[in-house]
Amino acid sequence: MPRPTDPAAASDPAEARGTAADASADDTAESTPTVRPRLGRDVVVLGVIAFFVMVGFGVVVPVLPVYAQSFGVDHVLVGAVLSAFALMRLVASPFVGRLLDLAGERVVLSVGIGIVALSSALAGLATDYPQLLLMRGLGGIGSAMFTISAMTLLLASTPPTRRARAVGFYQGGFLVGGMAGPAIGGVLSTISLTAPFFFYAATLAVAGLIGVVLLKPVPRGGAAEKAEPPTPLRDVLADVRFRAACVANFAQGWSSLGVRSALVPVLVVEVLRGPTAWTGVLFAVAAVAQTVALAPASRFVDTVGRRPAVIGSFAVAAVSLAAVPFASHVVVLGALLAVYGVATAFMGTAPAALVGDAAGARGGRPVAIFSMCSDVGAIAGPLVAGLLVDVASFPVAFGVAALLLAAASLAAVRIPREPRPALA
């Protein structure tokens, strides 16, 4: 006989009490907030991959100029080795989106990492400058394949309510790896100038193996893709959210990867008359500030909204960067760079989340365009900033970068106000 559902209808008082207790427990369960879901496995795997990639990259970067000079070339050709990587990333990016459509994110990511690993090992075996330059360019192609496929997979595997937190975790892997890499590179460089290149190849091999084994293949076609078909590229390009994200990524590439990295070391030596070691300390302070701020920034972007995060963070970054050349002491400069570091925690997560919102789960080509905006800024920023320092001054160079950041903040004003999402 079925158990009565109404306590009053139960013939046995004890049974009635038990049924009432069950009903009360059900009510309590319904009123208790659900446990917040954790980030998916693919997000965690991508964060681990990012760590291994950036550890190796951080090992190579400090010794690369010295290694290039060992071939007896001048400073211009040393700079060309550094630029070749970014330039080939930019050239390859438009083709990566189509590769993702053909082969899928997991395959392109693994092949891209393999290309960078092979080019790194061959760079360590280079016998002349042209070989080194060629291998760095090849590495840039692989880097474009890895970064675009990883971000596309990250956005595709995460719902909008946790998208910024997924990006934040992924960027956290890069930041932690980037802080550990230079220290390891300093030790390896005492052994040999080529040792860091082989170490980089090894960490990339580990990252690629993790990707092949642990990343889940993204199904192509079938019910999943029919349920969420790719958003047409023309619709994505017309979306104000995507356009604002691209402006923001260009401004960030110009200011963070270009102006700050290129001019702060010179500012420390020429204006503050400090030792070059101060630069490493200042950048470490900024990196720690950014790392600490990533989790709360990511949650803010997911719960409060992308629009206020972009408007506020880029405005704060503009003010702090414009003030950098006026710092009278290294402590003041460190404080300004720390504020800028906190702002970049928001600047790195909110625009990427906007791309995911605009492009949906199959956004390979939009992600490639978004990535190219940062690359263009990173390539043009140091060149224009250096020219502005030569013909004008440090405040003018930093001021132009600040204006671009302010323009990104203003561009985000046009983003429609989002309904406040439920906590997830």
Place of tokens 């060629």: 134
Distances (CA, A) of 92 to 95, 112, 281: 6, 11, 34
C-alpha dihedral, 4 to 10 to 14 to 16, nearest 10°: 70
Return the pLDDT at 14: 44
Q: Name the nearest CA neighbour of 108 among 52, 146, 54.
A: 146
**pLDDT score, position 150:** 93
Cβ–Cβ under 8 Å, residues 211 and 49: yes
- What is the reported pLDDT for 312? 97
The pLDDT assigned to 411 comes to: 96
Residue 20 confidence (pLDDT):
46
The predicted pLDDT at position 115 comes to 96
Helix/strand/coil (H/E/C) assignment for every residue in 96-162: HHHHHHHHCHHHHHHHHHHHHHHHHHHHHCCCCHHHHHHHHHHHHHHHHHHHHHHHHHHHHCCCHHH
pLDDT for 57 equals: 87
What are the average pLDDT values for consecutive 10-residue runs of the chain, which has 424 residues?
A: 42 44 45 56 92 89 84 81 86 91 89 95 95 94 94 88 92 88 80 91 93 76 52 92 97 88 84 81 89 95 95 97 94 95 95 92 84 91 87 93 97 85 49
* Residue (of 304, 120, 96) closest to 200 by Cα position: 120
- The single residue listed with the structure tokens 């972009």 is 310
